A = this chain, B = another copy of it.
């Protein structure tokens, strides 16, 4: 089973990388960009029997810092 896990900063958490991208796009002449936020994408191949609880555990214990980050799991 293939998983795609998206880890994004919670709203309100400062995102310096996103700011840098926003600024750089402006310098390169791209108009109309209003906001940029960055996150992580983790693609994983797991055994078919992997439970939702196990996947949730992976996210909470390792992949996301739930104090400042949200995560979302997609099964592909």
Cβ distance A35 to chain B, nearest Cβ, rounded Å: 4
**Contact of A54 with B39 in the complex, beta carbons under 8 Å:** no
Q: Which residues of B contact A38 (CB under 8 A)?
A: 40-43
Check A36 against B42 for contact (C-beta < 8 Å). yes
Q: How many residues of A contact B (CB 8 A)?
A: 34
- The residue that A47 contacts in the complex, of B18, B32, B36, with Cβ under 8 A, is B32
Compute how far the CA of A65 lies from the CA of B38 in the bound complex, rounded to whole angstroms.
16
Min distance, Cβ A60 to any Cβ of chain B, angstroms: 11
CB distance B57 to A32 under 8 Å? no
Distance A45 CA – B40 CA, assembled complex (angstroms): 18
A to B CB contacts below 8 Å, 27 in the list? A8-B41, A25-B62, A28-B58, A28-B62, A30-B57, A30-B58, A32-B47, A32-B50, A33-B44, A33-B45, A33-B47, A33-B58, A34-B45, A34-B46, A35-B44, A35-B45, A36-B42, A36-B43, A36-B44, A37-B42, A37-B43, A37-B44, A38-B42, A39-B40, A40-B40, A40-B41, A41-B41
